[in-house]
Amino acid sequence: MEIAKEHEDVEGLKKRLKEMEEETLALRDMQAKIEKEMGVAIQEPAAAAVDQANKEEIDSRSVFVGNVDYACTPEEVQQHFVSCGTVNRVTIRTNKFGQPKGYAYVEFCETDAVQVALRLTESFLHGRQLKVTAKRTNVPGMKQFRPRRANPYMGYGFRGAYPPPFFYTPYGYGKFSRYRMPMRYGPY
């Protein structure tokens, strides 16, 4: 009797699993249809790898130009680098207010132009000496971890990770007072 009931439970679970798989496929089809209508494509892992390879290829044809004058336009930067080869694109980075940050990226059509462009280091544009280097490729997920240093004025170090070096009295005679007192000028 129990075996028959367990068999029915297993069959019910298999049936429910099949229904869930069909629902998942239907949802994926609906999502693809909506994204196609909106013009947005899903990036699959294979597409992301191709995209990364494409970025690396573009970066191999690009240079970083530092110390660019804030009044400089992309056309002027392009004219400065036209002797190196065919310039595909000039990007002058700006902050959130639209003001230039003082550096630019120059993308060439051919890879050999990068070596010629590196010779323009220390050349002048708008009275400023340019710094030209080969553009590096950012690797996603490789942000450098920089641990925070312990603040000696906080007493216990960073987030209570260290024990106090000596006992603090709770009445305000230790390293810091029990109730925060305003900062006062103490010449000695």
Confidence of residue 175 (pLDDT cuts 50, 70, 90): low
Band (158; pLDDT cuts 50, 70, 90): very low
State the DSSP code for 146: -
Q: For the chain, which residues make up each domain, given as ranges?
A: 59-134
Q: With contact defined as beta carbons under 8 Å apart, do 90 and 104 qualify? A: yes
CATH architecture of the domain with residue range 59-134: 2-Layer Sandwich (3.30)
| CA quadruple 63, 64, 66, 68: dihedral sign | positive
* pLDDT for the residue 157: 46
Per-residue tokens: 97: 């207010």
Give the pLDDT band (50/70/90) at residue 173. low
What per-residue string of b and e applies to 116-150 under the rule 16 or more CB within 10 Å gives b?
Answer: ebeebeeeebeeeebebeebeeeeeeeeeeeeeee
What are the angstrom distances between the C-alpha of 47 and each of 39, 51, 60, 106?
16, 6, 20, 26
Give the burial class of 105: count Cβ atoms within 10 A of its Cβ; 0-12 exposed, 13-18 middle, 19 or more buried: middle
Which residue in this structure is represented by tokens 């993308």? Answer: 107
State pLDDT tens for residues 45-96.
666 777 878 888 999 999 999 999 999 999 999 999 999 999 999 999 999 9
Q: Does residue 126 have a pLDDT over 90?
A: yes
Residue 36 host element (H or E)? helix 2-38
Mean pLDDT (the chain) is 80
